């Protein structure tokens, strides 16, 4: 009999991880907006049999400029929705939300939570001159969790932090190639390049969709670190360890938003290169 990591609100008696109905439950994925779609794509690729629920909290984006109590409130509302749908695990596909609430939620709720954080460790394996730039939101860079993460590596590498206000908003609007997006990228990247960084970490899931634009600005010798796939790989390991991974059948993806359905659908179409059905989050 496996240990029961479920809380009383999610199971009772023998209805734990051994319960097939629970194991067949969907995986909840959320972000302040559409940035987490970069994570969703890798999850669907690695776990094609899983049913996925994606929530873009676009009506309350971005999280990067919000205080922690507000982020916790929004994250809790979305988490409660996922639990009402029988979700077996939840992916917080947002660096800011991960930094703010993941440890608290892991303690309060009885299912696994997978979070994201800037990929400093893989950046250390890539850098040759030990100068690493971190592009992230102000909320991520000012969080206690990020401070603890960066302190673990600061003796081994020079970390240069660059807050990027407005950049996630451009992605949220689907304006990947707009003049304002390129202007912001050139501004923030020039500040990092002046520090002679040879590796840049994309510390926000929204920025993953700007990889092509970034590569046109930086030198080919500069490494980019995007942890979207690593998050999906960690989810696979967690599901396998808990005997929750589905290995047969075709999985589905349901998309929800708290913002404008039409605007979110149009942005998702640009980012995913396909039409999707977007529903209003109940």
Return the bridge partners of 114, or none. Answer: 91
Least confident residue range of 2-6, 47-51, 189-193: 2-6
pLDDT at 90 over 90: yes
Q: Which domains does the chain have, with CATH numbers?
A: 20-116+229-280 (3.40.50.1860), 120-226 (3.40.50.1860)
Residues 273-277, mean pLDDT to the nearest whole number: 96
Residue 155: what pLDDT? 85
**C-alpha distances in angstroms, 279 versus 25, 48, 159, 198, 282?**
19, 22, 41, 42, 9
The values of phi and psi at residue 125, to 5°, are -75, -20
- Supply 93's token pair: 């596909």
pLDDT at 61 over 90: no
Q: How confident is the model at residue 9 (pLDDT cuts 50, 70, 90)?
A: very low
Least confident residue range of 21-30, 119-128, 179-188: 21-30
Task: State the Cα–Cα distance between residues 96 and 212, nearest whole angstrom.
Answer: 23
Question: How confident is the model over 204-231, as pLDDT tens digits?
Answer: 999 999 999 999 999 899 999 999 999 9
Residue 171: what pLDDT? 93
Least confident residue range of 13-17, 175-179, 208-212: 13-17
Task: Name the DSSP letter for residue 37.
Answer: H
Whether residue 59 contacts residue 70, with contact meaning beta carbons closer than 8 Å, is answered with no
pLDDT at 78 over 50: yes
Nearest to 97 by CA among 117, 77, 119, 122: 117
**C-alpha distances in angstroms, 14 versus 4, 24, 85, 117?**
9, 16, 19, 35
Over pLDDT 70: what percentage of the chain? 93
Task: Name the DSSP letter for residue 235.
Answer: H
What is the four-CA torsion angle of 231, 234, 236, 239, rounded to 10 degrees?
Answer: -120
Question: How confident is the model over 19-57, as pLDDT tens digits?
Answer: 666 778 999 999 999 999 999 999 999 999 999 999 999
Residues 5-27, mean pLDDT to the nearest whole number: 54
User: What is the CA 228 to chain-centroid distance, rounded?
Assistant: 7
Residue 70: what pLDDT? 95
Q: How confident is the model at residue 144 (pLDDT cuts 50, 70, 90)?
A: confident
- Between 139 and 226, whose confidence is greater? 226
**C-alpha distances in angstroms, 239 versus 89, 150, 182, 253, 267?**
8, 28, 39, 18, 30
pTM, rounded to two decimals:
0.86
Residue 139: what pLDDT? 85
Return the bridge partners of 55, or none. Answer: 30, 256
Scanning 95-198, the segments in alpha helix (DSSP H) are: 95-108, 120-126, 138-141, 144-153, 167-172, 179-193
Residue 16: what pLDDT? 43
DSSP tally for the chain: helices H, then strands E: 12, 10
Residues 113-126, mean pLDDT to the nearest whole number: 92
Residue 143: what pLDDT? 86
User: Catalytic residue positions?
Assistant: 94, 204
Q: Are strands 158-163 and 131-136 parallel, antiparallel or unpaired?
A: parallel
Whether residue 236 contacts residue 46, with contact meaning beta carbons closer than 8 Å, is answered with yes
Return the bridge partners of 134, or none. Answer: 161, 201
């Amino acid at each position: 009999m496996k240990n029961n990591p479920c809380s009383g609100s999610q199971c009772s008696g023998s209805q734990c991880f051994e319960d097939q109905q629970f194991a067949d439950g969907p995986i909840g994925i959320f972000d302040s907006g559409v940035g987490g779609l970069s994570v969703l794509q890798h999850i669907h690729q690695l776990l094609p049999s899983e049913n996925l629920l994606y929530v873009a909290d676009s009506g309350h984006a971005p999280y990067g400029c919000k205080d922690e109590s507000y982020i916790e409130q929004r994250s809790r509302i979305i988490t409660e929705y996922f639990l009402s749908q029988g979700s077996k695990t939840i992916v917080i596909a947002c660096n800011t939300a991960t930094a703010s609430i993941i440890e608290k939620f892991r303690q309060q709720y009885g299912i696994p939570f997978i979070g994201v954080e800037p990929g400093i460790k893989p950046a250390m394996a890539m850098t040759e001159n030990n100068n690493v730039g971190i592009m992230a939101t102000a909320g991520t860079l000012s969080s206690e969790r990020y401070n603890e993460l960066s302190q673990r590596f600061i003796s081994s590498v020079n970390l240069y932090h660059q807050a990027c206000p407005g950049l996630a908003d451009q992605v949220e609007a689907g304006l990947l190639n707009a003049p304002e997006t390129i202007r912001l990228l050139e501004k923030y990247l020039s500040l990092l390049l002046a520090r002679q960084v040879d590796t840049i970490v994309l510390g926000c899931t929204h920025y993953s969709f700007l990889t092509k634009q970034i590569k046109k600005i930086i030198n080919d010798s500069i490494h980019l670190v995007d942890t979207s796939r690593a998050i999906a790989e960690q989810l696979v390991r967690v599901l396998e360890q808990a005997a929750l991974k589905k290995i047969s059948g075709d999985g589905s993806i349901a998309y929800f938003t708290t913002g404008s359905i039409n605007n979110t659908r149009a942005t998702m179409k640009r980012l995913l290169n396909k039409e999707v059905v977007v529903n209003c989050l109940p």
